[in-house]
Structure 1
Amino acid sequence: MNEKTMRKSRWQTVIFLLIIITLTYLSSIITSFSFADGLATIPEALGWMTSNLMVTGESLDKLPNILEKLAETTFMSIAATTIAAVVSLFLGVLGSKTTKVNNFLSVFARFIASVSRNIPVVAWSLVLLISFGQNSVTGFLALFVGTVGFLTRAFIESIDEASQSSVEALTATGATYFQIVGKAVIPQCLPQMISWVLFMVETNIRNATLVGILTGTGIGYTFDMYYKMLDYNAVALVTLTIVITVIMVDLISNYVRKVIL
């Protein structure tokens, strides 16, 4: 890299940083946000959390009910993810350039993935809440739709990155479309697909808490109920159980990824 190119790169970096700083400053003015006031409230907030968000013996009496709701949320997240993975695999095969049947179905699959992925799970929850009301079906569908969009996109990219040599070899021998997909494409992409599914299980357990607050189900509803009752000790216990569950799922997912990848 010559001196002229390096100088141009430095100027581009400086201009980019100035733009970011300017946008940040303008955003703080428009939203009336003060960084100094925000930093000043941190010690007070930490003090309040230390004195109020403590697990006590009284709050531990609520643990069985909390664990029941947490299990409900966890299983709902796993069910939504696994069923969405099956649908996403079908859409991913149709949407990939390697395995597409025709251009119309490919564009259709990508369109579904784009729409469901770009609308947040919270927005899906609010939309579905109007139709299905406050129940577990609404929470399940919100997680399902959001997961389909993400996994379809991930599966399409995984299939597109698969080696073409085995596909060409089977094509040359006169293999059918389903034989090519089942014998050449899916086996190559399966480890990555499983990894993406495990990632979405972790993500959906986190999302299910917020979805539950909106749909009145699962651990999210339990959190919201104790919060509105100002029972901060129970809120602390709910938060702790969610954190422990997410960490356990993350450890299991990492172990499975090491085995399959």
Structure 2
Amino acid sequence: MNEKSMRKSRWQSVVFLLIIIVLTYLSSAITTFNFIEGMATIPEALGWIFTNLMVTQESFERLPKILGKLAETFFMSIAATTIAAVVSLFLGVFGSKTTKVNNFLSVFARFIASVSRNIPVVAWSLVLLISFGQNSVTGFLALFVGTVGFLTRAFIESIDEASQSSVEALTATGATYFQIVGKAVIPQCLPQMISWVLFMVETNIRNATLVGILTGTGIGYTFDMYYKMLNYNAVALVTLCIVITVIIVDLISNYIRKVIL
């Protein structure tokens, strides 16, 4: 890189940094957020956390109930992810340029992925809450719809990146469409697809807590109930259980990724 290019790159970095600073200042001014005052409240906030959010012997008496709700949330997340993965596999095959059946199905699959993915899970929860009420079905559907959008997009990209040589070889032998997809495309993409499914399992376990607060189900409802009762010791125990579960799932999924990739 010559001196002129380096000078241009430095100026671009300076301009970009100035833009970020201006946008940050404008955002603070519009939202009336004072950064200095915010930083000054951190010690007080930490003191409140360590004073009130403590797990006590009394809160441990509620552990069986908390674990039951946590298990409900965990299995709901697993079910929503796995069923969504099956649906997303078909949509991904139809939406990919490599395996598309026709342009209509390809556009339809990409449209479903775009709509489902770009609407937050919280928004889906609120929309479905009006139709289905506060129950586990609402939470399941909210996670399912959001997962379909994300996985469909991820599967389409994975299939698009598959090698064309095996597809062309099977095509030359007169293989059917389903034989090409099943023997040439899916085997190449399967490790990456499993990795995306594991990622969504982790994400949905986190999202299910917030969805549960809105839909009145699972560990999210338990958290919200204890919080409104000002039972902060129980809130601390619920939070601790969620954190431990997420860490365990993350460790397991990372191990599986190392094995398959």
Q: TM-score range by the shorter chain?
A: over 0.9
Q: How many aligned residue pairs are there?
A: 261
Structure 1 residue 113, shift from structure 2 partner? 0.2
Give, in whole Å, the separation in 2 of the partners of 1:197 and 1:67: 24
Give, in whole Å, the separation in 2 of the partners of 1:73 and 1:141: 13
Give, in whole Å, the separation in 2 of the partners of 1:123 and 1:110: 20
Secondary structure, counterpart of 2:170 in structure 1 = helix
Structure 1 residue 16, shift from structure 2 partner? 0.8
Structure 1 residue 78, shift from structure 2 partner? 0.2
Cα deviation per residue 1:61-102 (whole Å; 9 max; x = unaligned)? 000000000000000000000000000000000000100111
Q: Which moved more, 1:235-244 or 1:250-259?
A: 250-259
Structure 1 residue 6, shift from structure 2 partner? 1.2
2:252 is matched with 252
TM-score (norm 1): 0.99
Q: Which moved more, 1:131-140 or 1:1-10?
A: 1-10
Give, in whole Å, the separation in 2 of the partners of 1:35 and 1:175: 64
Give, in whole Å, the separation in 2 of the partners of 1:42 and 1:91: 47
Q: Which consecutive aligned stretches of 4+ in structure 1 deviate over 6 angstroms post-superposition?
A: none
Aligned: 1:231 with 2:238: no
Structure 1 residue 4, shift from structure 2 partner? 1.1
Give, in whole Å, the separation in 2 of the partners of 1:104 and 1:19: 42
TM-score (norm 2): 0.99
> Once superposed, what is the RMSD of the aligned Cα atoms?
0.5
Structure 1 residue 2, shift from structure 2 partner? 1.3
Give, in whole Å, the separation in 2 of the partners of 1:35 and 1:106: 48
Structure 1 residue 51, shift from structure 2 partner? 0.5
Give, in whole Å, the separation in 2 of the partners of 1:207 and 1:220: 9
Cα deviation per residue 1:7-51 (whole Å; 9 max; x = unaligned)? 111111111111111000000000000000110000000000000
Structure 1 residue 234, shift from structure 2 partner? 0.1
Give, in whole Å, the separation in 2 of the partners of 1:168 and 1:4: 47
Give, in whole Å, the separation in 2 of the partners of 1:182 and 1:234: 50
Give, in whole Å, the separation in 2 of the partners of 1:137 and 1:8: 56
Residue ranges of structure 1 left out of the alignment (5+ in a row):
none
2:143 is matched with 143
2:49 is matched with 49
Give, in whole Å, the separation in 2 of the partners of 1:259 and 1:4: 47
Give, in whole Å, the separation in 2 of the partners of 1:68 and 1:19: 50
Give, in whole Å, the separation in 2 of the partners of 1:16 and 1:173: 54
Structure 1 residue 5, shift from structure 2 partner? 1.2
Give, in whole Å, the separation in 2 of the partners of 1:167 and 1:15: 47
Q: Percent identity?
A: 90
